A and B are shown apart, each in its own frame.
Chain A
């Protein structure tokens, strides 16, 4: 059973555009929702995270929108740059499961010049 579903699988955006990646989760016990960025051959790097008591969190060009009733959250990358080209993973966890991260399948983002 896939606990976190992510879409799209791949995304091509022009430089300066907005990249939007969506995730949906099933387990209402999840209480932490991070996004990770991964470059080829590297480990996932924590980008930004949100808890379910807020609907939006912004850090620089990166924004998470969270909809608790719909059990969905999304990552928006404003003014996308070629250096943002990477694979992005959403994830979810809850403290009573040893903080185990349940990852989505990932979105391969390509920002064209």
Chain B
């Protein structure tokens, strides 16, 4: 069964450093998303991406964040200058192999980001 994969599973970085989180969405999906989950809290939407551009973004997704689909398979989230409060689990999701399936989002296993 196709699945969303994410690398690395755990990333430790120093405050102020740049990090790139990587995701490989399900191959025939057209919508891609990033969410984050601070430990013990709810899952929060960051950004959705369709047709090589941002479709929607939340207030959390400020100028420190960017997304990119550098090739036909990868989808990345870059945080330019990490803060302590960026420590969270980051989930990639994808949806939409065809019209009508765009709602059904499938999540990856997540990348745990720890900012020291």
Contact = CB atoms under 8 A, between A and B. Distances in A.
Interface of A: 32, 34, 36, 42-46, 49, 89, 91, 93, 95, 97-106
B84 interface: no
B107 A44 contact: yes
Q: Which of A36, A43, A97 has the most CB of B within 10 A?
A: A43
Contacts of B44: 103
- Per CB-CB distance, the 5 closest pairs between chain A and chain B, nearest first, are A98-B56, A98-B55, A43-B107, A98-B48, A32-B103
B42 to A, nearest CB: 5
Q: Which of B43, B58, B96 has the most CB of A within 10 A?
A: B43
A44 B45 contact: no
B42 A106 contact: yes
Contact of A100 (B58, B96, B106, B108): B58
A10 to B, nearest CB: 12
B102 A99 contact: yes
B75 interface: no
A49 B105 CA distance: 11
Q: Which of A36, A49, A100, A102 has the most CB of B within 10 A?
A: A100
B109 A43 contact: yes
A47 to B, nearest CB: 11
Interface in B89-116: 91, 95-96, 102-110
A110 B11 CA distance: 31
Contact of A42 (B41, B103, B105, B109): B109
B110 A43 contact: yes
A100 B56 contact: yes
B13 to A, nearest CB: 20
Nearest to A106: B42
Q: Which of B48, B56, B103 has the most CB of A within 10 A?
A: B103
B11 to A, nearest CB: 15
B56 A89 contact: no
A89 B55 contact: no
Given A46-B104, A95-B102, A101 B110 contact: no
